[in-house]
């Protein structure tokens, strides 16, 4: 048996990502067609950071797969505080068929995966948000068709999980990924190098800009995210000043392709990183993105459970 986890976007090969997106579309059309958690088997959902979409979409999705969603209160469990990540992993594996964890450090998630003995899913870390990207790519496919060759522009704080995940997942899909961020908020060299490596295989590309206008010019998809990621609240004032030129306004969106779509993983702050007329306008697909979290994560869990048998 090969135990499979979904810890970062490049855990999926390009072919696996395509299969997973096909499965997500199938599950969206036929929500109760697959029952890999029949029993019901339990899935532990642990959140060390705030969440709305992730907890409800996983909870509903696990139930639709025939399973029992078990919300584990992160503060009560005290993972890494009350007991080690390794011991928590060993205990969880004796109770549940899969672990979904939102936490801070990617290294802790890696440790959980190394000791759990059941599939572990990244429900967001400081570094990556791969489940969001499966939902986002499903949404792009629904609105723009085949992914290879499409251009996506991510504007704002690119030194964060969403910027990193777009670079890895977008290039895996054969897309041209452009990020625009001010100095000091660009992706790390390690992420850019990995995206470039993937792009060489898929025909995509990964490019960094400082000017939002250059990244957005002619793009098929324009993406932004909050400037104040979880854990960065104390930097709010300085971040508002630095990111002002990267707001996704109707003027910036007008530089993209005429039929471009605007995306945001939510929660959104109107008048900050995205203008109200954009998020509430005709090019916005944010509510489809939010819905697609459920379909995407059901596909992720089904894929991991089947691959790990």
Within 8 A by CB and 6+ apart from 106, the residues are: 7, 8, 122, 125, 126, 127, 128
DSSP string over 148-203: TT-EEEEES--SSHHHHHHHHHHHHTT-EEEEE--TTSSPPHHHHHHHHHHHHHHT
User: Among the options 136, 225, 294, 295, which is catalytic?
Assistant: 225
Smaller CB separation from ligand CP, 203 or 267? 267
Within 8 A by CB and 6+ apart from 12, the residues are: 6, 20, 172
Smaller CB separation from ligand CP, 162 or 260? 162
User: Among the options 160, 265, 283, 295, which is catalytic?
Assistant: 265
254-283 positions binding ligand CP, by CB under 6 A: 265-266
Torsion sign (Cα): 196, 21, 164, 98 = negative
Asked if 241 is part of the footprint of ligand CP (rule: CB under 6 A), the reply reads no
Site string for ligand CP, 214-233 (x = CB under 6 A): --------------------
Torsion sign (Cα): 308, 60, 69, 142 = positive
Smaller CB separation from ligand CP, 102 or 176? 102
Report in angstroms how near the CB of residue 186 gets to ligand CP at its nearest.
22
Smaller CB separation from ligand CP, 199 or 285? 285
Report in angstroms how near the CB of residue 86 gets to ligand CP at its nearest.
26
For residue 163, report the phi and psi dihedrals to the nearest 5 degrees: -60, -45
Within 8 A by CB and 6+ apart from 164, the residues are: 9, 127, 128, 187, 188, 191
Asked if 124 is part of the footprint of ligand CP (rule: CB under 6 A), the reply reads yes
36 neighbors 301 (Cβ within 8 angstroms)? yes
Q: Which residue is nearest to ligand CP (CB)?
A: 54
Query: Is 265 in the active site?
Result: yes
Chain-centroid distance of CA 122 in Å reads 9
Asked if 54 is part of the footprint of ligand CP (rule: CB under 6 A), the reply reads yes
Query: Is 5 in the active site?
Result: no
Reported as type and span, the H/E element at residue 56 is helix 53-64
Smaller CB separation from ligand CP, 155 or 290? 290
Q: How far apart are CA 137 and CA 126, in angstroms?
A: 20
Query: Is 146 in the active site?
Result: no
Q: How far apart are CA 223 and CA 274, in angstroms?
A: 10
Closest C-alpha among 41, 47, 247, 243 to residue 131: 47
Report in angstroms how near the CB of residue 258 gets to ligand CP at its nearest.
28
Query: Is 178 in the active site?
Result: no
Question: Residues 5, 8, 34, 53: which binds ligand CP (CB under 6 A)?
Answer: 53
Asked if 52 is part of the footprint of ligand CP (rule: CB under 6 A), the reply reads yes
Report in angstroms how near the CB of residue 302 gets to ligand CP at its nearest.
20
Asked if 45 is part of the footprint of ligand CP (rule: CB under 6 A), the reply reads no
Report in angstroms how near the CB of residue 1 gets to ligand CP at its nearest.
30
Smaller CB separation from ligand CP, 52 or 107? 52
Q: Which stretch binds ligand CP (CB under 6 A): 49-57, 72-80, 109-117, 255-263?
A: 49-57
Chain positions contacting ligand CP, by CB under 6 A: 51-54, 124, 132, 265-266
Catalytic sites, residue numbers? 102, 129, 132, 225, 265, 293
């Amino acid at each position: 048996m090969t135990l499979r986890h979904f810890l970062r976007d490049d855990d999926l090969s390009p072919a696996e990502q395509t299969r997973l997106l096909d499965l997500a579309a199938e599950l969206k059309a036929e929500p109760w067609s697959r029952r890999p958690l029949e029993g019901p088997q339990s899935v532990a959902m642990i959140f060390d950071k705030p969440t709305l979409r992730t907890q409800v979409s996983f909870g509903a999705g696990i139930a639709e797969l025939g399973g029992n969603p078990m919300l584990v209160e992160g503060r009560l469990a005290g993972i890494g505080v009350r007991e080690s990540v390794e011991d928590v992993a060993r205990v969880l594996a004796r109770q549940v068929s899969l672990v979904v964890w939102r936490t801070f450090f990617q290294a802790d998630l890696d440790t959980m995966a190394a000791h759990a003995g059941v599939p572990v899913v990244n429900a967001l870390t400081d570094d990556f948000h791969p489940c969001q990207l499966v939902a986002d790519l499903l949404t792009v496919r629904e609105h723009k068709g085949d992914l290879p060759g499409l251009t996506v522009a991510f504007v704002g704080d690119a030194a964060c999980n969403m910027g990193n995940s777009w670079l890895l997942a977008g290039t895996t899909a054969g897309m041209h990924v452009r990020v625009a961020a001010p100095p000091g908020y660009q992706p790390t060299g390690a992420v850019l190098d990995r995206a470039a490596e993937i792009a060489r295989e898929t025909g995509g590309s990964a490019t960094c800009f400082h000017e939002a206008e250059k990244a957005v010019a002619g793009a098929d998809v324009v993406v932004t995210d909050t400037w104040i990621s979880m854990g960065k609240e104390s930097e709010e004032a300085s971040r508002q000043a630095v990111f002002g030129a990267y707001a996704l306004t109707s003027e910036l969106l007008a530089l993209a392709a005429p039929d471009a779509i605007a995306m945001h993983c939510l929660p959104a702050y109107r008048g900050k990183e995205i203008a109200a007329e954009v998020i509430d306008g005709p090019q916005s697909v944010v509510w489809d993105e939010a819905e697609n979290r459920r379909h995407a994560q059901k596909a992720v869990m089904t894929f991991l459970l089947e691959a790990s048998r």
